[in-house]
Amino acid sequence: MSKESEKQRWQRNFADLLQELRVAQTGVQILFAFLLTLPFSNGFTRTSEFQRDVYILALLSAAAATAMIISPVAFHRALFRQGRKPELVRFAHRMASAGLAFMLVAMVSAVLLIADFVLDTGIAVVLTVITGLWFLTFWVILPFARRNWGDDDIDDDDDDPVVLNGD
């Protein structure tokens, strides 16, 4: 098989990023929808001021994650057929990374909110710290520990190059 061109590599990288964003978008949308409905449930009036503050943090983090994870689509629309795929891929990578960071804050905040509502605050904090470490382990520590700091595309050498038509 012939080596892919630089244009094909940028197209493949963008397609890979879009697939990753589809997975992340589903998760953040489910959490965001849950958080949007929470104040309208009967038990929400029993929340403490601390729990309401944590709720607002989780809600705003989920909103920020949603905006950042979806932003590459709007950016693509603005740059459509302008031959600026490298710029688009770099932007999408930054937004996906920031979106995942906000998603992490939203997830951990939601765990703290619910755990504090049903358990003692001390136990809720311990469970939340464990949850945060769990997410950090699988979302940050392990990926970066396994990352090859050489060629940016070294792990893609075994992938079949995909030629995407259009932009």
pLDDT tens digit string along 14-23? 777 777 877 8
The answer to the question of residue 118 being in a domain is yes
pLDDT tens digit string along 21-38? 778 888 889 999 999 999
pLDDT of residue 1: 56
The answer to the question of residue 87 being in a domain is yes
Q: How is residue 130 written in tokens?
A: 């464990």
pLDDT tens digit string along 58-115? 999 999 999 998 888 888 777 777 777 778 888 888 988 999 999 999 999 999 999 9
The answer to the question of residue 59 being in a domain is yes
Rg (CA), the chain: 20
Confidence of residue 51 (pLDDT cuts 50, 70, 90): very high
Domain that holds residue 80: 6-42+55-146
The answer to the question of residue 151 being in a domain is no
pLDDT tens digit string along 114-142? 999 999 999 999 999 999 999 999 988 98
pLDDT of residue 137: 94
The answer to the question of residue 48 being in a domain is no
Q: How many domains does the chain have?
A: 1
The answer to the question of residue 84 being in a domain is yes
